[in-house]
Structure 1
Amino acid sequence: MPSQNMLPKGKRRQSVKQEYRAARTVAQEREAALREAGKDVESLGPALYDTADFTPHVSPFAGRPGLVTSGPNGGKHPQEEADMSVRRYGVPRLYVEPEVEREITVLDDLEAEDGVRSFAAEAAAAGMRLDAYLAKAIPEISRARVVLLIDGGQVTVEGKPGKAKQKLKGGEWIEIEGDPKPAPLNATPEDIPLTIVYEDEDLAVVDKPAGMMVHAGSGAAEHNKGTLVNALLWHFGAGDKLSSVGGALRPGIVHRLDKQTSGLIVVAKNDVTHRALGEMFSERQLRKTYLALVHGEVKGEEGTIQLPISRDLMRRIRMTTKRAGGRSAVSHWKVLERVKGPYGKFTLLEVRIETGRTHQIRVHMQAIGHPVVGDFLYGAPHRIRRVEGAGAGGKGRAAMGDDEESLSLERNFLHAAALEFGHPRTGKALSLAAELPEELGVLLEQLRGVEA
């Protein structure tokens, strides 16, 4: 007997026994007639019944192509969708607000008055967390430092202490008092070898090796080891032997070099010299020249890159030239050598920078499509492979999977080679230089195809 579920919804309480018995009687009479006629009824097989005999309702989608998975108003039949039929049950959906990349104006010219920086949150900050907005509006302060400011009660919103998670409406008056106050890390002297290029009673110029941080940052105490500051405290002594303008974590430090960049860095021995050197850097009265080896053949013999630099919103450890509102940055480059050897084409550049933005040369080189060799953060390959069929012209195809003959550099091929400035006290012209480190010289010879 057919199931009641074969009936359309709304009629499933209706009994089908009467129709079934009537159909069974017809079948039995047919079978008896066949037997009287002498036909073998068993060979004809079982009688087939048309379910339409038992179902008064016929689906409007019967015979149409497609898959019917439920009733007429709840199915996914293409004709049903085309007819815009109203579904019997709505499909529950969880609405998720799409992530919108907000363009926040960077507050480059934010000046502190009596140690307090005040400004109004822009309209685009509506719906943003306070800590996220401040990290974007003032990128020189990291997200972690912003949280330190807020937790320390140094940030107020409309006169009330701010909270990191509080949502802004746009237009609120925000005040930031003082600078972030991370847990104190006391720099300690360490007997680390230093190459001192120049020294007098006011300042020193040191040739920093790659792999050495200039000074410790906020965080665990184990990060406060092996830095240039630790070495300076050993060589020049603590107390008043180095300037204190930079604070307890940065005694004597006037400017910085990236950890994986080698070369000349100026150290101030007293506060008067420190302030004078800081003003000279600000007025661009120091001439800094770098040597950089980049991938590919740079077109032209010299040029200038003027692309503003700002922090990358996706990867905070990176800088970028692709965001609006960045800080101005100027780099002048000149080709010293075009290297064409068994590993392809490279260009050795002399780069002079007018500004000192974070990762400036590395970001500018990536922006023109020629990343610095060894600079994995900005697109340089980890392995430099031989080029198949490369002749003197360096043309060919990179060999795949041959790591035994490939080269690698675990630092950036970037070296602060020369520094020229007038002595801040005597006015004497100083022209200092640092030789190319051995590991860079060896790699350069290998790329030229010269056997070691």
Structure 2
Amino acid sequence: MHKKSAHPARKSSPGERKDVLFRVTEEVSLMEFLIAQLPSKSRDNIKSLLRNKQVWVGDQIVSQFNHQLLPGQMVRISGSRSRAEKKFAEFTIVFEDDSLIVIDKSAGLLSIATGSDNTHNAFRMLSDYVKTQDPKNKIFIVHRLDRETSGLMVYAKNEEVKKLLQENWNTEETQKCYVALVEGQLEKQEGTIVSYLFEDKVFRVHSSQNPNKGLKAITNYRVLESNANFSLLQVELKTGRKNQIRVHLQEIGHSIVGDKKYGAVSSPIRRLGLHAQQLRFVHPVSGEKLHFETKVPSVFHSLLKRKYK
């Protein structure tokens, strides 16, 4: 029989249902642990918590009941189901609290307004959403994804949180991993691309080895799978420059599929083959380490399974 941890639950704001925190003392499955720690809940109640993404192990949401726990790990039960996940037409809110919102954006949706489109974008939709909770609420953009890039994005709920997140955006505390579907097969299965990026008058980004000509950009890549025509890469950004991944992959001769602006000659999936898959950062208010991960778009895998003559 597992004993409840004496570790206190985190403080919550007025009207918010409290989270509950438990410490793991022995190796055990997640379901067995939760049954012991939550004797007032039925097995179906516990499955509902898992299904609604209210169970955290360390800094990750876990929904598998047979997930194996190890001594020393912390298990948190979120008191709010409503903030676990909300689906909209072109994005999903995967995390929300009083300070920030993390979304999974679809390809084709702008991160924020442009001169020609100031209504159909994630920023405007999220702004309308938070105002339904309180008309005084605001939203602030922390970073951007290109319109045709899908995946994880963070928006702040106040200027102070925005500032704190941006200050740490290019530090070791923040890790940004993408998957990129590129043209051709790479000779090297992994590598690092380092150059200096600068933008011209028509907003096209260029790469140079001259440190006086631009901002330093560092991109790590690793091949996940490939066929005769295309490769799927895991790409980790060490810096966050505009169009960095697109320019760097063009530079090594393997442009992202669908990226005509940066050298692609094919568009087999009718979108840019780039997806922001993983994001890790430290919560600027609570200090908690957060980790989010989304599925690789199925169309990426489908292209690699196609047979070519």
Same fold, judged at TM 0.5 (above): yes
Is 1:226 matched up with 2:120? Answer: yes
Partner of 1:241, secondary structure, is coil
Partner of 1:241: 137
| TM-score normalized with structure 1 length | 0.45
Partner of 1:181: none
Partner of 2:101: 204
Structure of greater relative contact order (alpha carbons < 8 Å, 6+ residues apart): 2
Check 1:423–1:335 CA distance in 2 against 1; reply closer, same or farther (3 A cut). same
Counterpart Cα distance in 2 of 1:449 and 1:236: 43
Shift in Å, 1:299: 1.6
Name the structure where strand makes up a greater proportion of residues.
2
Check 1:382–1:297 CA distance in 2 against 1; reply closer, same or farther (3 A cut). closer
Partner of 1:256, secondary structure, is coil
1:131-170 Cα distance to aligned partner (Å, 9 max, x none): xxxxxxxxxxxxxxxxxxxxxxxxxxxxxxxxxxxxxxxx
Contact 1:296 1:370 (8 Å CA) reproduced? yes
Is 1:271 matched up with 2:159? Answer: yes
Q: Specify every segment of 5 or more residues in structure 2 that has no aligned partner in the other structure, as ranges.
A: 1-87
Is 1:366 matched up with 2:250? Answer: yes
Partner of 2:205: 319
Q: How does 1:335-354 map to 2 (within 5 A)?
A: 335-340=223-228, 345-354=229-238
Counterpart Cα distance in 2 of 1:446 and 1:309: 31
Is 1:445 matched up with 2:298? Answer: no
Q: Specify every segment of 5 or more residues in structure 1 that has no aligned partner in the other structure, as ranges.
A: 1-190, 243-250, 384-407
Shift in Å, 1:426: 1.1
Contact 1:302 1:334 (8 Å CA) reproduced? yes
Partner of 2:214, secondary structure, is coil
Counterpart Cα distance in 1 of 2:200 and 2:90: 36
Counterpart Cα distance in 2 of 1:283 and 1:326: 19
Q: How does 1:15-414 map to 2 (within 5 A)?
A: 193-217=90-114, 219-220=115-116, 223-237=117-131, 239-242=135-138, 251-312=139-200, 316-322=202-208, 324=210, 325-340=213-228, 345-383=229-267, 408-414=268-274
Contact 1:205 1:265 (8 Å CA) reproduced? yes
Partner of 1:288, secondary structure, is strand
Partner of 2:35: none
Partner of 1:424: 284
Counterpart Cα distance in 1 of 2:168 and 2:98: 19
| TM-score normalized with structure 2 length | 0.65
Check 1:272–1:240 CA distance in 2 against 1; reply closer, same or farther (3 A cut). farther
Contact 1:196 1:205 (8 Å CA) reproduced? yes
Off by >3 Å, runs of 4+ in structure 1: 191-194
Shift in Å, 1:318: 1.5
Shift in Å, 1:192: 5.3
State the percentage of identical aligned residues: 38
Contact 1:417 1:436 (8 Å CA) reproduced? yes
Partner of 1:224, secondary structure, is coil
Question: Rg larger in 1 or in 2?
Answer: 1
1:108-137 Cα distance to aligned partner (Å, 9 max, x none): xxxxxxxxxxxxxxxxxxxxxxxxxxxxxx
Contact 1:192 1:226 (8 Å CA) reproduced? no
Partner of 1:259, secondary structure, is coil
Q: Please tell me the residue identity of whatever aligns with 1:285.
A: E
Partner of 1:369, secondary structure, is coil
Partner of 2:287, secondary structure, is coil
Shift in Å, 1:273: 1.3
Q: Number of paired residues?
A: 217
Q: Please tell me the residue identity of whatever aligns with 2:301.
A: L
Check 1:259–1:205 CA distance in 2 against 1; reply closer, same or farther (3 A cut). same
Q: Please tell me the residue identity of whatever aligns with 2:226.
A: R
1:209-258 Cα distance to aligned partner (Å, 9 max, x none): 111111113x35xx11211111102221175423xxxxxxxx41011001
Name the structure where helix makes up a greater proportion of residues.
1
